[in-house]
Amino acid sequence: MAAPMVVVMTTDAFIDDLPKVELHVHLVGSASVPTVLELARRYPGSGVPTTEEELRAFYTFKDFPAFARVYEKVNSLVREPEDVATLVLGLARDLAPQRGRYVELQVTPYAHHVMGIPMRAVTEALDLASRRSLEEYGVEMAYIFDIPGEHGEEAARVTLEHSLQEPPEALVGFGLAGIEQERPKYRDTFRDAFTAARNAGLRSLPHAGEMDGAEVIWESLEALGAERIAHGIRCLDDPKLVAVLRERQIPLDVCPTSNVYTGQIARIEDHPLPRLLEEGLFLTLNTDDPPMFATSLNEEYRVVARTFGLGVPELAQLARNGVQASSMAADRKSAVIAEIDALAARG
């Protein structure tokens, strides 16, 4: 009698089938190329190209400030509440075939404020989009409201007011993004805003250690009460900080392709992800602004697998980490981790 044939799942097939969460992706940065072109043609004069070839060239950044300028121009295309909902639903549509189960979407209320969209209208659009994301695509959508740090006190005030006075139903976190080198000017303002947000039950989820050194991560931990760090790759500059992050198991939401596109890392091969893992740090894998960086959540898993030789056990653990670091309900976490474990057992 012939022995039963054993089918070995390829790494690509495993990634395709792997249930995933996305904890670090921005609303405007998630807009697909067709969506951005549609909006650019709807609102001529924005400075955003209206052809695909020109738009892809537009998405070439020599450094983070250049990326920030492009991001602001794309944000200027989001002028109506319907535009906000369109972007959320577009992300859910993109993630569904990638086995995306849950997202914590970074939303910048200040950006919509300066475009004249009322708080209540933004919140209603986010609430509608989160319901439809789950109903139509099976993707659970949660939100993080972040302060664009370089805009200082007014941005902190608007973000906090929106978070406390008109929060969407799925708001789970309070964040801080933008150019890290600008933060020291507003240290007290940001600390006070995060204290108020945490007192209201929101998780502290700032960006830190992407473009500046370990000190901005220390500041996030000590002054902002960070529970999770977006990026965090500069922690390796300070062995004491690495030890603290390892001991507390503070998740770092890493985005390898983003770091290359914004000039933080010269080549993907130079990314510190392998060393972060060797140090025993808690990593989750994310996209940041996928269409702007010509990537996707599946592609991020493929990139780290092919560049750093990660296999099924390591990829499955990154997926589990994302679930564990999320704000999903406990029963949902257990269900998604069970899916990951079952797939890993076959892989």
pLDDT digits (tens, 9 = 90+) for 63-117: 888 888 888 888 888 899 999 998 999 999 999 999 999 999 999 999 999 999 9
CA–CA distance, 322 with 99 (Å, rounded to integer): 13
Tokens 């209540």 belong to residue? 120
Catalytic residues: 210
pLDDT band, very low/low/confident/very high, at 6 (cuts 50, 70, 90)? very low
Cα 250 to its chain centre, rounded Å, is: 16
Residue type, 175: G
What CA–CA distance (Å, rounded) separates 42 from 124? Answer: 23
- pLDDT given at position 302: 97
- Count Cα neighbours of 94 within 13 Å in the Cβ-side half-sphere: 25
d(CA 142, CA 37): 26
pLDDT digits (tens, 9 = 90+) for 229-250: 999 999 999 999 999 999 999 9
Query: pLDDT value at position 5?
Result: 43
- Percentage of residues of the chain with pLDDT beyond 70: 98
> What is the spatial distance between Cα 34 and Cα 50, in angstroms, rounded to a whole number?
10
| pLDDT at residue 215 in the model | 96
Residues 127, 168: Cα–Cα separation, whole Å: 6
Pick the CATH number of 21-271+288-295 from 3.40.50.2300, 3.20.20.140, 3.40.50.10190, 2.120.10.30: 3.20.20.140
Rounded to whole angstroms, the Cα distance separating 11 from 32 reads 26
Residue 4: which pLDDT band, with cuts at 50, 70 and 90?
Answer: low
Report pTM. 0.93
Bridge partners for 220 per DSSP: none
pLDDT-based confidence at 8, cuts 50/70/90? low
